[in-house]
A and B are shown apart, each in its own frame.
Chain A
């Protein structure tokens, strides 16, 4: 049987049996399900039941707030005095009460009393009170429809059109950034775990001299190419698990949260490019990790050296708020083409806007060339330094490795 395949199989199984890989793969759907469940539970517990009507007491010292006291879910009950309202609150006849002072029309201030410990007034309560006050203030001046419009005057619907004026197939939506954003973050974390896993494996083989036994059976090229491919395959399996679970999670999320979650669209190109960049990202980091593994004196030092490129891969996420504000800046183009940041940056951009084909082709081209060039150099460095452990070669020795191997 082909030795490259045998090592690939061994390394692949070794990688996917690692606790860190299993946790990383399963934690995404599990945490997402858990998150959806917790939010659904909190929402259910916080919301009044279907037939339960929330009662809010009020004391009207102005004398004009006697209409719009019920909206189907909430009933506003008038009291003559603060003392009466307070007694009702203590008896739990009302969940809270408000005082509309005599100078309200000039000050705009009201006082709210509740038995609950709250950091801020719930936005739902604020909306109920606001609607009640606005409706009563305008009741004899404008039509009920106008009142509704005044309460909620703006609902912007943006439609992206092509240069010919046709509606584009996929519409921009801030919610569309959620999936690519999460995916980018996961990609960055997965690459970090992958790099650490490879370096630690190589470190173990070097320190135990098992690497010598392996090289007495196979060539440096066979061993390293197998390791790189195995890590890439493990990355592909990981992203497939995530992508398969994504539609289910999205369905659950939209049925739980509704609203903007229902509007999330995963661009078709995102799925395909997601897989491509995930695998290329894994391969690039595997190649870099082999180079680092070759020059590291032990696994710990290798892990520290790998932080340079694993942290660099997170640069697009560090500046994601800038990216949302200025999505067309040329800096994002640079980060899309720079191989270390390309996977994460491209995933992020795919959620926000279309990326010109030339940029995607350049990005993939540079990544592929980097992987091939990196593999060539890493094999050279590894060949010269594979027998070293406990001592890290200096720059001159690394240079000689590249020159002489």
Chain B
């Protein structure tokens, strides 16, 4: 059963379209990257999934059902802008919000201590939230999001404001959650994180899906017929190469349509040249994003 199924979603505010005929799904055990420029409709989509607002038309199913109170205990949500009750301690906040997700107090406290230890925050369990740094507060909110072992996790910019160490910790936990079979929607601006973590990607622009599919297939689909080479000696002209682009530490060879990278590699080796690097060029997600969004990305 799919964790989330979104069918032909439409939503507009004051005559302005926010979401237009959007359909997608998320499976258990996968991370779907949700990307798009400012005002693309990502937040509106998340809020409709969470039933914070109703769509004009279309429907959303969570584990095969319309959103209901029972579903809420199976969802973990980390909003983009994050805040905490300032006067509560970290442990009190985590336990309170965990009990609202159906956990009993004892289990919530036990699990909170485990997660605090995993994230290196155990010594801050009794620290009041008002005395925490922004990064520490974000870790606490991340713990709140996953403490109740949700089947569906929606993360809106989970890495924003985190230092590299905490980013790595959170990234590893997200990967582990996916391996445990959780369905994860990851909305982020950080394309490298999408490339590192996501199995599939949904790019939204002006409320519509402009790209949706497996990440590897998508990158292959957008790949150019070219290779990056770094050879010690000069190699002159090669048959089948129609253009050369000189980069800082490599040369990009743009190949003719009927020329494969293997033909070029064989030619270089036949000339007895020393090869430091030979790599088939695949576009980064950022390049694909810029290409589709026309440079208007967040």
Q: Which residues of B contact A216 (CB under 8 A)?
A: 50, 72, 75-77
**When the two chains form their complex, are residues A6 and B52 in contact, meaning their CB atoms are under 8 A apart?**
no
Interface residues on B, range: 20 to 34
- Number of interchain pairs (Cβ within 8 Å): 59
**When the two chains form their complex, are residues B100 and A6 in contact, meaning their CB atoms are under 8 A apart?**
yes
Q: Which residues of B contact A205 (CB under 8 A)?
A: 83
A213 in contact with B97 given A1-B104, A219-B69, A386-B52 (CB within 8 Å): yes
Q: Which residues of A contact B47 (CB under 8 A)?
A: 387
Within the assembled complex, what's the spacing in Å between the Cα atoms of A204 and B85?
8
Asked if B82 is an interface residue, CB under 8 A from chain A, the answer is yes
Asked if B231 is an interface residue, CB under 8 A from chain A, the answer is no
Within the assembled complex, what's the spacing in Å between the Cα atoms of A207 and B50?
19
Q: Chain B nearest CB: distance from A393 CB in Å?
A: 11
A213 in contact with B104 given A1-B99, A219-B69, A387-B47 (CB within 8 Å): no
Most chain B beta carbons < 10 A, residue from A7, A207, A209, A212: A212
Q: Chain B nearest CB: distance from A8 CB in Å?
A: 12
Q: Which residues of A contact B52 (CB under 8 A)?
A: 212, 215, 386-387
Within the assembled complex, what's the spacing in Å between the Cα atoms of A1 and B102?
7
**When the two chains form their complex, are residues A213 and B96 in contact, meaning their CB atoms are under 8 A apart?**
no
**When the two chains form their complex, are residues B100 and A208 in contact, meaning their CB atoms are under 8 A apart?**
no
Q: Which residues of A contact B58 (CB under 8 A)?
A: none
Asked if B203 is an interface residue, CB under 8 A from chain A, the answer is no
| Chain B 34-76: CB-based contact to A (< 8 A → 1; otherwise 0) | 0000000000000100101100000000000000010011011
Q: Chain A nearest CB: distance from B40 CB in Å?
A: 17
Within the assembled complex, what's the spacing in Å between the Cα atoms of A295 and B52?
16
- Residue in chain A with minimal CB distance to B100: A217
Q: Which residues of A contact B81 (CB under 8 A)?
A: 208-209
Asked if A130 is an interface residue, CB under 8 A from chain B, the answer is no
Most chain B beta carbons < 10 A, residue from A209, A210, A215: A210
Q: Which residues of A contact B240 (CB under 8 A)?
A: none
Q: Chain A nearest CB: distance from B168 CB in Å?
A: 24
Q: Which residues of A contact B72 (CB under 8 A)?
A: 216-218
Q: Which residues of A contact B84 (CB under 8 A)?
A: 208, 210
**When the two chains form their complex, are residues A7 and B100 in contact, meaning their CB atoms are under 8 A apart?**
yes
Within the assembled complex, what's the spacing in Å between the Cα atoms of A98 and B65?
98
**When the two chains form their complex, are residues A218 and B100 in contact, meaning their CB atoms are under 8 A apart?**
yes
Asked if A214 is an interface residue, CB under 8 A from chain B, the answer is yes
Secondary structure class of chain B's binding surface, majority of residues: loop
Within the assembled complex, what's the spacing in Å between the Cα atoms of A9 and B141?
21
Within the assembled complex, what's the spacing in Å between the Cα atoms of A215 and B50?
9
A212 in contact with B69 given A1-B99, A218-B100, A387-B52 (CB within 8 Å): no
**When the two chains form their complex, are residues B101 and A387 in contact, meaning their CB atoms are under 8 A apart?**
no
**When the two chains form their complex, are residues A6 and B99 in contact, meaning their CB atoms are under 8 A apart?**
yes
**When the two chains form their complex, are residues B99 and A212 in contact, meaning their CB atoms are under 8 A apart?**
no
Q: Chain B nearest CB: distance from A150 CB in Å?
A: 69
Asked if A112 is an interface residue, CB under 8 A from chain B, the answer is no
Q: Chain A nearest CB: distance from B107 CB in Å?
A: 12
- Chain A interface residue count, Cβ-Cβ cutoff 8 angstroms: 23
Asked if B144 is an interface residue, CB under 8 A from chain A, the answer is yes
Asked if B79 is an interface residue, CB under 8 A from chain A, the answer is yes
Q: Chain B nearest CB: distance from A250 CB in Å?
A: 37
**When the two chains form their complex, are residues A210 and B85 in contact, meaning their CB atoms are under 8 A apart?**
yes
Within the assembled complex, what's the spacing in Å between the Cα atoms of A1 and B108?
13
Asked if A167 is an interface residue, CB under 8 A from chain B, the answer is no
Please pick, from A1, A209, A217, A219, the residue contacting B83 in the complex, using a CB distance under 8 A.
A209
Within the assembled complex, what's the spacing in Å between the Cα atoms of A78 and B47?
95
Within the assembled complex, what's the spacing in Å between the Cα atoms of A26 and B101?
36
Within the assembled complex, what's the spacing in Å between the Cα atoms of A388 and B101?
24
Q: Which residues of A contact B69 (CB under 8 A)?
A: 218-219
Q: Which residues of A contact B83 (CB under 8 A)?
A: 204-205, 207-210
Within the assembled complex, what's the spacing in Å between the Cα atoms of A250 and B233?
104
A6 in contact with B96 given A208-B84, A209-B79, A219-B69 (CB within 8 Å): yes
- Residue in chain A with minimal CB distance to B148: A217
**Which residues between 193 and 216 of chain A lie within 8 Å of chain B, taking CB atoms?**
204-205, 207-210, 212-216
Most chain A beta carbons < 10 A, residue from B47, B83, B85, B144: B83
Please pick, from B53, B75, B85, the residue contacting A387 in the complex, using a CB distance under 8 A.
B53
**When the two chains form their complex, are residues B144 and A213 in contact, meaning their CB atoms are under 8 A apart?**
yes
**When the two chains form their complex, are residues B99 and A213 in contact, meaning their CB atoms are under 8 A apart?**
no
| Chain B 80-94: CB-based contact to A (< 8 A → 1; otherwise 0) | 111111110000000
Within the assembled complex, what's the spacing in Å between the Cα atoms of A405 and B47?
15
Q: Which residues of A contact B97 (CB under 8 A)?
A: 213-214, 217
Within the assembled complex, what's the spacing in Å between the Cα atoms of A218 and B131?
28
Within the assembled complex, what's the spacing in Å between the Cα atoms of A218 and B79?
16
**When the two chains form their complex, are residues B104 and A212 in contact, meaning their CB atoms are under 8 A apart?**
no
- Residue in chain A with minimal CB distance to B105: A1
**When the two chains form their complex, are residues A213 and B77 in contact, meaning their CB atoms are under 8 A apart?**
yes
Q: Which residues of B contact A210 (CB under 8 A)?
A: 83-85
| Chain A 313-340: CB-based contact to B (< 8 A → 1; otherwise 0) | 0000000000000000000000000000
Q: Chain B nearest CB: distance from A141 CB in Å?
A: 78
- Residue in chain A with minimal CB distance to B137: A208
| Chain B 141-171: CB-based contact to A (< 8 A → 1; otherwise 0) | 1001000000000000000000000000000
Please pick, from A17, A214, A386, the residue contacting B100 in the complex, using a CB distance under 8 A.
A214
Within the assembled complex, what's the spacing in Å between the Cα atoms of A387 and B80?
13
Q: Chain B nearest CB: distance from A22 CB in Å?
A: 14
CB<8 Å pairs between A and B, sample of 8? A208-B84, A209-B82, A212-B77, A213-B144, A214-B100, A215-B52, A218-B100, A387-B52
B residues near A, CB below 8 A? 47, 50, 52-53, 69, 72-73, 75-77, 79-87, 96-97, 99-101, 104, 141, 144
A residues near B, CB below 8 A? 1, 3, 6-7, 10, 14, 17, 204-205, 207-210, 212-219, 386-387
Given contacts A209-B82, A386-B52, 6 further A-B contacts (CB under 8 A): A14-B85, A17-B87, A212-B79, A216-B76, A217-B72, A387-B53
Closest 4 CB pairs of A and B: A208-B83, A217-B100, A216-B77, A209-B81
